[in-house]
Structure 1
């Protein structure tokens, strides 16, 4: 299937010829050749190595799968280590950071799965007042009463050009934590709320080559932009529930955006009277929308459409990988039928 994403925002991805200058992709959801014994129900995160091998952080088996760029199976490791695997980031040296929001820790592995470092204390959450449970109006994150140190439901990790680590934290907190490359805490920023530098579920994070930290403030429906010291610079609001962010070779920022079902609420936009399906949006470095696809209520599991986009990555050729948490977000709560269980990973091969 061919996709051409409009370079001027608003429209969803479409088939057929588009004007010159468009970003064009060919979509596939049968690209990954995963043996049956490594089947999974969610792809929580995805990243791409320097050689374009693709690393998937999966749930059910709760482990890491490694594929080559053609989708061929290379390796599997990590089963039984994680509680709720959530984020995965590859370092320039090839090591793999896995963020576990269920046990409030980050683990660093060699490319073949040997554990070499743990940041945080597995199973120990800092005290923010967070009390997940039924009755939330928008999200359980609304029970967070105060900011705290690392970690309470940490979500994702970015590596800056300096080598320092930045962690979004997360489900039970409202902070970004900055660490040395060796994992020593330098400082933190963030508070509960919707003002500049405040968060309601900082969920995705990336670092740009020019030294900016972009944070997907999921339940505030925005991306906040900071310098490396945590000073607020600006925000981009033409997004819905940003879950993950990735930067390509040209400095374009790709954002995975989660479905907001009709009747659900946002901290900043109130209750939606229409269904707002998942989608991918591409921004230029200034925050202008240059492409968008998905966002269709018809055939959510069709090529180029999404149930629950949660992880996103771009390879050296500009091809885009989107992982979805269809099992936990779509099927388990009854939002989509069991027949959509296989709609978990799409590759959008860049053709222009």
Structure 2
């Protein structure tokens, strides 16, 4: 599957989740692979980390009672970095779930005017009420790690900034303002480093990727994307992007509150380092819950074999807007795609 020069096939029914409430979940907000190709799922309802082998067999879990709301997960040098967007922190664990340290303080947020902090319920756009950018976290989304272990955090739901930390957790730099121009963001959501260690930011509600050097200097914009949620880069320099569904709102006729005047379904796109598309699939309005298609793609991971894992927040997004039967959403949370063109 895919239209382009590289091809993937879906691995049906990959996740073999054990029965019982202590294992159940309704979304996979984040996914990451360790050095042994074990797959770590950061799940919602319940809020925990579930660990599987590459064939989807359950191994162990951890984190029950730790997270307020699961979001991103990144593994670097066998340390696991988990973002909690409701607590506004990045917690760091070893592979067995033993807590190491934390960036930020739970529920201590920067003053950006974000609506949920003021008691107002945010709309689907999430940072509709963000009035200004600020240093410090406010509902941070994802983190990526440089080779020297510097950390870059996309602080997007309640802020519009990228924060750059040293390996010791010292804030080195922040950049970004609210808006639509270069270096401005509307939900900076996913983040990764390319092969040159330039910073790629999924500027989600602006429908674009923005590229910066490590100091925050603007480099480029790629705009052939739809609500990009996550980005990963492989050893060839290929750039993989998950793109979130923008649903049609009856009678709306505009992009207000994250809706569109036509259905724009979720998909995955793979770009060459130069920006040309080498694979794209999904974007099926009629069969979005079928294997290989997407309801609400939210996070990505690659293993050492080139297989791609796509995590979805299908229950929150699909059934939450009464667009898709809840049963279909529960069965559509994590998919593995095997690369077959090699």
Q: Contact conserved, 2:247 with 2:259, CA < 8 A, in 1? A: no
Is residue 2:38 matched to residue 1:53? yes
Evaluate the alpha carbon distance shift between residue 262 and residue 69 of structure 1 in structure 2; reply closer, same or farther with a 3 A threshold.
same
Alignment equivalent of 1:83, drawn from 68, 73, 81: 68
- Residues 218-256 of structure 1: per-residue CA shift (max 9 Å, x gap): 000000000111100001000010001111121101101
CA distance in 2, matches of 1:180, 1:116: 16
Unaligned runs of 5+ in 2: none
Is residue 2:3 matched to residue 1:6? yes
Alignment equivalent of 2:114, drawn from 122, 127, 130: 130
Counterpart of 1:197 in structure 2 is 183
1:324 offset after TM fit, Å? 0.4
Is residue 2:298 matched to residue 1:339? no
Counterpart of 2:283 in structure 1 is 295
Alignment equivalent of 2:93, drawn from 106, 109, 118: 109
Q: Bigger shift: 328-337 or 250-259?
A: 328-337
TM-score by length of 1: 0.91
Structure 1 segment 308-319 matched on structure 2, within 5 A: 308-319=296-307
Provide runs of 4+ in structure 1 moved above 6 Å.
none
Counterpart of 2:16 in structure 1 is 33
CA distance in 2, matches of 1:59, 1:273: 30
Q: Equivalent residue of 1:332, what SS?
A: helix
Q: Contact conserved, 1:107 with 1:115, CA < 8 A, in 2? A: yes
CA distance in 2, matches of 1:225, 1:135: 28
Q: Contact conserved, 2:68 with 2:86, CA < 8 A, in 1? A: yes
Is residue 2:6 matched to residue 1:23? yes
Unaligned runs of 5+ in 1: 8-21
1:209 offset after TM fit, Å? 2.2
CA distance in 2, matches of 1:66, 1:266: 38
CA distance in 1, matches of 2:12, 2:215: 40
Q: Equivalent residue of 1:83, what SS?
A: coil
Alignment equivalent of 1:305, drawn from 286, 290, 293: 293
Counterpart of 1:225 in structure 2 is 211
Q: Bigger shift: 284-293 or 215-224?
A: 284-293
CA RMSD of aligned residues (A): 1.7
CA distance in 2, matches of 1:255, 1:43: 16
Evaluate the alpha carbon distance shift between residue 56 and residue 42 of structure 1 in structure 2; reply closer, same or farther with a 3 A threshold.
same
Is residue 2:149 matched to residue 1:166? no
